[in-house]
A and B are shown apart, each in its own frame.
Chain A
């Protein structure tokens, strides 16, 4: 099977940079995705890494290292609206397997 580990909570201040780590165990996968979910809402797709390295999308960047079974999401210039839960997810042949999520709390 597949499993992913993320910190349960991360705190940061407005304007700062924060990194949310994700380690995983799997026998094979196609890529690592990141999703954002505001409280009680729909998860929204943020980023996908099929290959090792850094992917940048505006204030968000995501990184994957297959040799280390590790990835992270980097959020820059934090805003209050970034307070949400962030999930990493492994792409299998047919489906996504999600981690338990990291709650990011941004304070003024």
Chain B
């Protein structure tokens, strides 16, 4: 079955460490996205990519970095510069950019201690 896989489901890191969240899709979708979800805040866009080797900043990109070396993969690195990294991170993809019919992964809950 096609879908998006995020790993790990739960991640714990010490403050000051960089951490990379994995996102892989086998839907042959061109566009991929990273959202952050905090309680009562909805989903906020971190980065998105519409094509391999190209990506754009979202609304809250500071302290994060991404790469898109393969169509199937869009990893997110949470750097030590991110001041409040503890959150639920959701990866999504769509056939093409434009915000219709996103498919989401099951998320990674990151806790920084």
A positions within 8 Å CB-CB of B? 8, 30-31, 33, 35, 40-45, 48, 87, 89-101
Report, as a range, how many residues of chain B touch the other chain.
Answer: 20 to 34
A87 touches B99 (CB 8 A): no
Interface of B is mostly: strand
| Distance to closest chain B CB from A10 (angstroms) | 15
**In the assembly, what is the distance between CA of A30 and CA of B43, in Å?**
19
A100 CB contact (under 8 Å) in B41, B45, B106: B41
* Complex contact A95–B42 (CB within 8 A): no
Which one, B35, B88, B99, B103, contacts A33 given CB within 8 A?
B99
Q: Which residues of B contact A (CB under 8 A)?
A: 31, 33, 35, 40-45, 48, 50, 56, 58, 88, 90, 97-107, 109
Residues of A within 8 A of B41 (CB): 100
Given contacts A8-B40, A94-B99, 8 further A-B contacts (CB under 8 A): A40-B88, A42-B106, A43-B43, A43-B90, A43-B104, A48-B101, A89-B99, A98-B35
Chain A residue at minimal CB-CB distance from B105: A42
Instruction: Give the one of B58, B98, B101, B109 with max A CB within 10 A.
Output: B98
